[in-house]
Structure 1
Amino acid sequence: MTNTLTNINTFIDYAKSLKGDEKGEAQVFCDRLFQAFGHQGYKEAGAELEYRVKAKGKTTKFADLLWRPRLLLEMKKRGEKLEKHYQQAFEYWLELVPQRPKYVVLCNFDEFWIYDFDLQLREPVDRVSLEELPDRFTAFNFLFPENRQPLFNNNKIDVTRNAANKVAQVFNRLVERGEKVETAQRFILQCVVALFAEDIDLLPRGLFTEFLTNCQTNRFSSYDLIGGLFRQMGSDRPAPKDSHYHNVSYFNGGIFSIVEPIHLTRSEIDLLLEAATERWSKVEPAIFGGLFESSMGKEERHALGAHYTSEADIQKVVLPTIIRPWRERIEAANTLKDLLALRQELINFKVLDPACGSGNFLYVAYRELKRIEAQLLTKIHENFTRAANTIGTMSLVKTSQFYGIDIKPFAVELAKVTLMLAKKLALDEENQSLNVVQMNLALDMDKALPLDNLDKNIRCDDALFCEWEPVNIIIGNPPFLGGKHIRLVLGDQYVDRIFAKFPDVKDVDFCTYWFRLTHNHLGENCRAGLVATNSISQGKSRKVSLDYITQNGGYIYDVISTQPWSGEANVHISIINWLKTSENQALTYRIDHKIVSNINSALKAEVDVSQAVRLKANLNLCFQGVIPVGKGFLITEKEVQQWIKIDSINQTVLKLFSMGANLAKNPHGKPDRWIIDFNDMTLEDASEYQLPFNHVKTHVKPERDKNRRQTTKLNWWKYGEKRPAMRKVLASLPYCFAVPRVSKWAIFIPFLSNYLAGDKSVVVASDDFYVLGILTSGTHRIWMHAQKSTLGTTIAYTHNTCFETFPFPQNCPEKTKTEIRVAMQTIHDYRTEQMERKQWGITQLYNQFFNESASQLAKLHAQLDQLVCQAYGIKTNDDPLKFLLELNLEVANRESQGLPVVAPGLPPSV
């Protein structure tokens, strides 16, 4: 500790001796800062100065100091207002992928602003002056060589979580003791407004706390005193001077239009007083609603709200749809006429969230639009002084420009409160921002009260079936619900209604419907940004959403391809931002914050393979395995041995059952489970196998009796999906090739045909190692990755998209085919030897060696890849994906004309 303080004081003395020149002294300042925290210097610590950052278009800018993965430090000259440089630092941080630094620091030689954008976006987690550094150096613990946990003074997340938890506890108690849910919700929301209001000077400072204290000591009834306060907040008639409420202003806002007082118990008053001790001025409205909702209705020990959508994630929609386009237009406007036209356009600009929840997306969008307005006014005042005095600084952007729809009544009320509070908070920030650039201007202050009434803007309705307001931007996070669960959760009647409206959109995630509706609702040159599960870019979901968008005037220009979601749903998500236009506009395309040349509907900067055709030559060769529908079909090896011993006829219906796990984890992919399989036998024939039949009758039939599908219910001894075509084609083969339907590597391996493939596996009906070589090659892997579905970060190999669209070589010489067979046999022999010796499965083998270029496995694959490229005629400079797509379309065209094509591993056929 002593050495640290000595080093820090030495650094402070040195920093004070500097003039504070950003260009000339920033680098030596950074070096001495690193020395103060125990390093020899920045270079020895591994940091870089003047790090190149790609900005908009082809522009390159330079970050002052980058120390991955800990710190991005941006230096400004002494006396510079740091708030003016927030956006630059934030955008540098966005571009620094992978290994984006955890912390961002803005410094002007006298003050440090520390940001953790993953925690809270706009507000620094701490502000530390140079003079405070000896007492506050723990805020910079991340600078020490051993990377200690920093201690910050402005963590809004913890403050918000605690505040949300305490008011949610009061709500839970009110409901538990018999208050109507709607009454309790309204009362608690009124309390939330009052708690905010007394901390941000909309009510006299501490008034609500004072009233609660008076109720706690039994001087007043909470029913009368608090109820009276809420009535006065909803009244435009001032209270008499001798009233408790004589300094209470008119709030309006709709939230106080109905007041139903509640008599609070002592414990409920105590909880509200605890809530009042929180720093409500530090509570972040963007996440408060989500935390509050997640705490409601839970037992106290589980009440602490754990889930919220982080503002960093919300900004991945708001930044590309609202902030960047507006900022670029303001920067490009150089005449007063253009700037005034932009201001007029800004005050008519409308935003809709059709699944608004607690209003977090709308809150962030409103606040950012206010900041854009401040930027616009600042430019007018700095460049057109005479006109600026006439225009003034009155904010004309209103919460009434923002619209929301949600099917949950309480979410709607919470969204209204969130957006109403945004007015005051944004107003304070805007006035401060304008003062930074114009200290001598007589500001024309907007008034925080009364709050806007948003009853017509934020409404309770079903967005899938109601009218939407005409707007410029649509943003939000539609609800996630897997296609297989929709009917179970929402019910037959509602689902039938959805399918009637969207007859071509079935068996997809629920959020997909919002994409179709959003795009149809957008006007010319309007934008949208929505969050979806990452299945949106795959299979059916992509076809009815992103394919539909790109085929109907939509240009996807900014996406997060996949990431874990910060919100409550435990899923991987994609974030898609797009523009609807009939014009040929120059757009900057970004995938995961990296600038790319284009983005297709698969959310990749590559050839769009969504137009690939399923080839007739590839049909009935690749199959998903059987779907038993009933765990009772599975049996132990001990039961198998006993039943065969009792009657050898039973072995006819007892089979080794292969799923994805054994293919990935076991040597040779050998199955380790057994299953009863009556295939397509009649009930009478199946009953001949007495022991297996009775087992199925006991363990499967009760479950099948509850099945909604009539044929599955009636044929309880048969599988739900028997795959007769697969069985027929495999019957003539000693083995085939199998791959887990979901895995990390999607590697095909030889698979005995007398094993029964389950639905977690995919099989290809061929025993030709030429076919296996093609499927094992990098060429097929490229196609597979372009076509794949994903579950989280794994690959889902689907037979209809990955295999049936994949064109096999059409002009491959027999010599090359033989060489591919030999190369594949060599790989197979190597893999067999390694798996047997190490007792590994294929996944562990590839995890260990595939990406090691010096490994034998990698070398053998390289030889195979070279031969497969020869088979296709793919040259070194060719784009293999483009080549394969063109070949797919060529083969499909030949098939449509009845011309011969080469099927997988077979002679030319028609």
Structure 2
Amino acid sequence: MNQSVQRKAAKDFIKRWADRGNEKQDSQSFWLDLLQSVYGIDNPTEYITFEDSVSNMMDSTSFIDGYIEKTNVLIEQKGQHRDLNKGLRQSDGTYLTPFQQALRYSATLPYSRRPRWIITSNFKEFYIYDMEKPNSDPSIVKLKDLEKEYYRLEILIDKTNTQIEKETKVSIQAGELIGQIHDELIEQYQDPEDPSSLKSINQLSVRLVFSFYAEDAGLFGKRRMFHDYLVDFDTRNFRHAIIEFFHVLNTKAEDRDPYLDEKLAAFPYVNGGLFEDMDIEIPQFTDHLCELILENASSDFNWSEISPTIFGGVFESTLNPEERRKGGMHYTSIQNIHKVIDPLFLEELKKELNEIKQLKQHAAIKRRALEFQNKLASLTFLDPAAGSGNFLTETYIALRELENEALVLIHGDNVLLDTEADLIKVSLDQFYGIEINDFAVAVAKTALWIAESQMFEKTKDLIYSEVDFLPIKSYTNIIEGDALEMDWNNVIDRYDLDYIIGNPPFIGHSVQNSEQKKQMRSIYIDLMGKEYPLSGKIDYVAGWFFKAAEFIENTKTKVALVSTNSITQGEQVAGVWKPLYDRFNIDINFAYKTFKWDNESSQKAQVHVVIIGFSHNSVTSKSKKIFYELNKFEIVNEINPYLIEAPVVIVESSRKNLSNVPPMIYGSKPTDGGFFFLTPEEKNELISKEPDAEKFVRRVYGAAEFINNKERYCLWLKDATPDELRSLPMVHGRIQKVREYRLKSKAKSTNKYADYPTRFKQDAQPDTNYLLVPRVSSENRRYVPIGFMSSENIVTDAVQLIPNATLYEFGIITSNVHMAWMRAIAGRLEMRYRYSSTLVYNTFPWPDTNELQKNKIKQTAQGILDARTLYPNSSLADLYDEVIMPVELRKAHQENDKAVMEAYGMKVGETTESDSVSQLFKMYEKLVTSK
């Protein structure tokens, strides 16, 4: 909202409410009117909640007058004649001021919903309490002063999301327009596949986009100047007109042809290097292309409303053939960018500005606001995987929005005509990037210029200054290059850098090409010049984590990067993080737990990601946060690489069990091309035609068969004699196909087993009963389904087994303690748990139990098995569905959990899962040390 418009809205609000103020009748209307008319909230009834119930210490229910979740503001409203400093008798006999009442309500809320601000009001005054300083006096804003001091109540609103939806829609439409122009334009090139032609069309597209934006934003002077110039030319001369136009924009007024056409001469000098290369290939235009440019893209569309943050990604993917093949336009949402930049630095800056707004002396406000502006202008940022510049662009916009608020505090209503004193201090020179794709570099620079222009106009609206945006300054801080190959010091001196941000490429270790694998190995080199173990088995994104950790060593710089969640799970934790802790002494300051990162493409490709903020441990944050969603977090003392509150202990795979317990082994691996296996129908057909084959048919279990009670069979021919097999043509035919399959394999070890076509390639089938553990299980289950099996049941390598296991082993590994360990360190398949014997079972610290405790665990373990037998027709998938899990089974597990926790010395009812994992990490560390 424009400053003058907001002042007028505040003035009108004062008039409406000057003589009103009944607590029961007017409270909600008062706040809804304030939010909508003064602060521009379109749907205030969805923005603020009233009368939220809370239970107080006397177990009676009270109600919060108002609560704004987006900004964590709690409101306690009183009538117009109430003194906000005096206490009022409560139902329990105590006397509490409105603020003390609000504090009591706050104490009953979950930590993540506790207010950052408490406002008490009597319609005439607003008392603003900063809960970061709970013992300080409140700031007071009087209703009669709201016209001048409206900014002090801006803590009510979340400015970051007010325009996002509209700008996103416009930006996608803009991308579609450019896509249409690009698709038709490329057909006019003599050789559309020629690399120089592709580079030319990309540059041409960038220039057209800037021109469309510049005419709608008023940068050229009058609106529609670009359109009005081009409309004079027919299709035949359109190409020449475009070339002349670009030439003029790249030429200073004093250097131009004095006889230049007056329409061309009216255009300002742009600079910035955008129109510098006059040798790019520009083809002829068609009638339809001229129409697309003049009508669809120019007359019928307002480019000034695009979001440069979103449009940068949309634009790049629109013109990038590879990205278009993947699903068309994509971009990183502004909300996801803020998950990176808000906890890294933006929240602290917003907090500092809000504290300035609550100061009472105008001289102090102006002085502090000027200091704050200088601080903003001193910050530097690097995105070493810049792409189309969306992280840098959104960060620039966020800083400029804060600067604009500071400028209002500094200059107020003053009209600034003389701006030699550098009114705007935040500049693009503070933002650095590295990007391997030359076109993305051009897009990023253009997006930043557009962002600069938009924020420039917002400053003019606020301060009424008369300053021209053009000519733009050359911007060379985004460097084309391979971030994993180059020295980042050549981009910015590491001691001058404040923050590293970004979203590096997501390429799993199994799909990296040879060059990428070579890069990863060369990066993960230890101090002795040797490769770190597992450096060839970590995701590509880890290269940026290593380079960033190396770059910030012994500096003040803080980092926040997006990554696939794989680097915080399973074996990759040791491969990625051990070198970072051992060599660079990093410390994790905040983290987002796994969530889906949507690239917003038409195919909606999604990956599961985490966000990790870290620094050198000498500048670690005192208050660490683990986020579950935007603004939903818990404060913890320590965050380890598994993104849980626990000591920084890294669990490494072990082929030997660290505790004295029965070994866990993989099931049998057939490597047969599927020819050993039979569906129920195939099994029935085989037996009906060859009855003697029945003794060689066994029920077989992988994870899916075990959990879902899926019927499947296999041929188990270990004891079959040659004459028996010769008499069974159908069985013999399958054996022949197994042999042929193995002979065709590229693996020599498989070729060798073509000589043994009657057997599984790897036979681990025990001749005793065993405990079966699925290797993959749903993340939605509290317990991984585990069970006993007889030796008659064949198992594949989709499961793991413990031969000769007892009820005691079953009780321990099916307990909530073991499941917590598994959830913390296991790898994932998408989000499903991947149970590994070497990583989860062999490293698990078992309790030191006495006979009494062992017997108790055996009893409770049997209770679980007994509860399952009550439902013989239900699969384990049914029984372990958290929604419909039978009461008897749940109680049996709870009894087993209790027995196991007691064996560990954990207090039942008091120990959280986080507590138990923390204890297990300490026990693991002792185990490793003792070994």
Pick closer, same or farther for the CA change 1:678–1:481 going to 2, 3 Å: farther
Which amino acid in 2 is paired with 1:357? G
Which amino acid in 2 is paired with 1:673? R
**Residue 362 of structure 1: how far off its partner (Å):** 1.0
Aligned equivalent of 1:664 = 707
Encode CA deviations 1:451-493: one digit per residue, 9 max, x unaligned.
Answer: 2333x4223222111121233211111111222222xxx2x24
SS at match of 1:459: strand
Instruction: Quote the Cα distance in structure 1 between the aligned partners of 2:163 and 2:22.
Output: 24
Does the CA contact (< 8 Å) of 2:365 and 2:409 recur in 1?
no
Encode CA deviations 1:333-362: one digit per residue, 9 max, x unaligned.
Answer: 979998877666644532111111111111
Q: Determine if the alignment matches structure 1 residue 539 to structure 2 residue 570.
A: yes
Encode CA deviations 1:580-620: one digit per residue, 9 max, x unaligned.
Answer: 24256533534233231232221123445535785433687
Aligned equivalent of 2:484, options 457, 464, 477: 464
Pick closer, same or farther for the CA change 1:494–1:781 going to 2, 3 Å: closer
Does the CA contact (< 8 Å) of 1:355 and 1:476 recur in 2?
yes
Instruction: Quote the Cα distance in structure 2 between the aligned partners of 1:308 and 1:699.
Output: 48
Encode CA deviations 1:359-391: one digit per residue, 9 max, x unaligned.
Answer: 1111011222323444555565589x9xx9999
SS at match of 1:419: helix
Encode CA deviations 1:614-654: one digit per residue, 9 max, x unaligned.
Answer: 54336872244455567444443444556667778977986
Instruction: Quote the Cα distance in structure 2 between the aligned partners of 1:310 and 1:869.
Output: 43
How many pairs are equivalent? Answer: 783
Instruction: Quote the Cα distance in structure 1 between the aligned partners of 2:678 and 2:230.
Output: 65
Pick closer, same or farther for the CA change 1:575–1:664 going to 2, 3 Å: same
Aligned equivalent of 1:572, options 586, 603, 608: 608
**Residue 33 of structure 1: how far off its partner (Å):** 11
Does the CA contact (< 8 Å) of 1:613 and 1:892 recur in 2?
no
SS at match of 1:321: helix
Instruction: Quote the Cα distance in structure 2 between the aligned partners of 1:690 and 1:156.
Output: 69
Aligned equivalent of 1:10 = none
Q: Determine if the alignment matches structure 1 residue 229 to structure 2 residue 228.
A: no
Structure 1 gaps, min length 5? 1-12, 66-74, 91-114, 116-120, 126-153, 897-910
SS at match of 1:257: coil
Q: Determine if the alignment matches structure 1 residue 496 to structure 2 residue 518.
A: yes
**Residue 530 of structure 1: how far off its partner (Å):** 0.8
Aligned equivalent of 1:396 = 425
Which amino acid in 1 is paired with 2:169? D
SS at match of 1:582: helix
SS at match of 1:170: helix
Which amino acid in 2 is paired with 1:396? K
Aligned equivalent of 1:673 = 712
Aligned equivalent of 2:125 = none
Instruction: Quote the Cα distance in structure 1 between the aligned partners of 2:624 and 2:323.
Output: 49
Q: Which one is further off, 598-607 or 524-533? A: 598-607
Aligned equivalent of 2:469 = 448
Aligned equivalent of 1:616, options 658, 669, 685: 658
Encode CA deviations 1:132-187: one digit per residue, 9 max, x unaligned.
Answer: xxxxxxxxxxxxxxxxxxxxxx7222211111111112212223454422121111
Does the CA contact (< 8 Å) of 2:516 and 2:540 recur in 1?
no
Does the CA contact (< 8 Å) of 1:739 and 1:761 recur in 2?
yes
**Residue 321 of structure 1: how far off its partner (Å):** 2.2
Does the CA contact (< 8 Å) of 1:392 and 1:444 recur in 2?
no
Which amino acid in 1 is paired with 2:827? S
Aligned equivalent of 1:255 = 274
Instruction: Quote the Cα distance in structure 2 between the aligned partners of 1:803 and 1:242.
Output: 80
Aligned equivalent of 2:905 = 873
Q: Determine if the alignment matches structure 1 residue 246 to structure 2 residue 283.
A: no
Which amino acid in 2 is paired with 1:498? M
Does the CA contact (< 8 Å) of 1:560 and 1:575 recur in 2?
yes
Q: Determine if the alignment matches structure 1 residue 810 to structure 2 residue 848.
A: yes
Pick closer, same or farther for the CA change 1:341–1:665 going to 2, 3 Å: same
SS at match of 1:863: helix
Encode CA deviations 1:517-555: one digit per residue, 9 max, x unaligned.
Answer: 111112511111111112221123322334544553323
Does the CA contact (< 8 Å) of 2:523 and 2:546 recur in 1?
no
SS at match of 2:881: helix
SS at match of 1:352: strand
Does the CA contact (< 8 Å) of 1:741 and 1:798 recur in 2?
no
Does the CA contact (< 8 Å) of 1:655 and 1:674 recur in 2?
yes
Q: Determine if the alignment matches structure 1 residue 425 to structure 2 residue 454.
A: yes
Encode CA deviations 1:187-236: one digit per residue, 9 max, x unaligned.
Answer: 11111111111111122421222344344x54x62211112111222223
State how 1:560-639 maps to structure 2 within 5 Å: 560-567=592-599, 568=601, 569-583=605-619, 586-592=622-628, 593-598=632-637, 599-610=639-650, 614=654, 615-617=657-659, 621-626=663-668, 631-633=673-675, 634-639=677-682
**Residue 572 of structure 1: how far off its partner (Å):** 1.5
Aligned equivalent of 2:30 = 29
Aligned equivalent of 1:140 = none
Instruction: Quote the Cα distance in structure 1 between the aligned partners of 2:150 and 2:728.
Output: 81
State how 1:899-910 maps to structure 2 within 5 Å: none
Does the CA contact (< 8 Å) of 1:742 and 1:796 recur in 2?
yes
Which amino acid in 1 is paired with 2:176? N
Aligned equivalent of 1:112 = none
Pick closer, same or farther for the CA change 1:616–1:646 going to 2, 3 Å: farther
Q: Determine if the alignment matches structure 1 residue 765 to structure 2 residue 803.
A: yes
- Supply the RMSD in Å over aligned alpha carbons: 4.6
State the identity as a percent.
Answer: 23
State how 1:151-190 maps to structure 2 within 5 Å: 155-178=166-189, 179=192, 180-190=197-207
TM-score, length-scaled by structure 1: 0.75
Which amino acid in 2 is paired with 1:825? Q
**Residue 303 of structure 1: how far off its partner (Å):** 11
State how 1:649-660 maps to structure 2 within 5 Å: 656-660=699-703
Does the CA contact (< 8 Å) of 2:202 and 2:319 recur in 1?
no
Pick closer, same or farther for the CA change 1:407–1:702 going to 2, 3 Å: farther
Q: Which one is further off, 323-332 or 392-401? A: 323-332
Instruction: Quote the Cα distance in structure 2 between the aligned partners of 1:348 and 1:42.
Output: 39
Aligned equivalent of 2:382 = 352
Instruction: Quote the Cα distance in structure 1 between the aligned partners of 2:422 and 2:22.
Output: 34
Aligned equivalent of 2:587 = 555
Does the CA contact (< 8 Å) of 1:239 and 1:248 recur in 2?
no
Aligned equivalent of 1:367 = 397
Q: Determine if the alignment matches structure 1 residue 19 to structure 2 residue 56.
A: no
Pick closer, same or farther for the CA change 1:619–1:545 going to 2, 3 Å: farther
Which amino acid in 2 is paired with 1:562? T
Aligned equivalent of 2:863 = 826
Does the CA contact (< 8 Å) of 1:618 and 1:803 recur in 2?
no
Does the CA contact (< 8 Å) of 1:162 and 1:304 recur in 2?
no
Aligned equivalent of 2:313, options 271, 287, 290: 290
Does the CA contact (< 8 Å) of 2:906 and 2:916 recur in 1?
yes
Structure 2 gaps, min length 5? 1-11, 36-42, 54-62, 68-73, 75-105, 122-140, 357-363, 525-530
Encode CA deviations 1:14-60: one digit per residue, 9 max, x unaligned.
Answer: 997423999976534358999x9999x97689995333578999974
**Residue 282 of structure 1: how far off its partner (Å):** 0.8
SS at match of 2:587: strand
Instruction: Quote the Cα distance in structure 1 between the aligned partners of 2:718 and 2:142.
Output: 75
SS at match of 2:398: helix
Which amino acid in 2 is paired with 1:658? Y
**Residue 818 of structure 1: how far off its partner (Å):** 2.5
Which amino acid in 2 is paired with 1:748? I
Which amino acid in 2 is paired with 1:463? A
**Residue 830 of structure 1: how far off its partner (Å):** 1.5
Aligned equivalent of 1:281, options 299, 304, 317: 304
Q: Which one is further off, 561-570 or 326-335? A: 326-335
Q: Determine if the alignment matches structure 1 residue 408 to structure 2 residue 437.
A: yes
Q: Determine if the alignment matches structure 1 residue 89 to structure 2 residue 150.
A: no
**Residue 122 of structure 1: how far off its partner (Å):** 4.3
**Residue 849 of structure 1: how far off its partner (Å):** 4.1
Aligned equivalent of 2:896 = 864
Does the CA contact (< 8 Å) of 1:357 and 1:411 recur in 2?
yes
SS at match of 1:600: coil
Encode CA deviations 1:54-87: one digit per residue, 9 max, x unaligned.
Answer: 899997424899xxxxxxxxx9966478777666
Instruction: Quote the Cα distance in structure 2 between the aligned partners of 1:679 and 1:258.
Output: 75
Q: Which one is further off, 230-239 or 610-619? A: 610-619
Aligned equivalent of 2:882 = 847
Instruction: Quote the Cα distance in structure 2 between the aligned partners of 1:20 and 1:578.
Output: 54
Which amino acid in 1 is paired with 2:201? A
SS at match of 1:564: strand
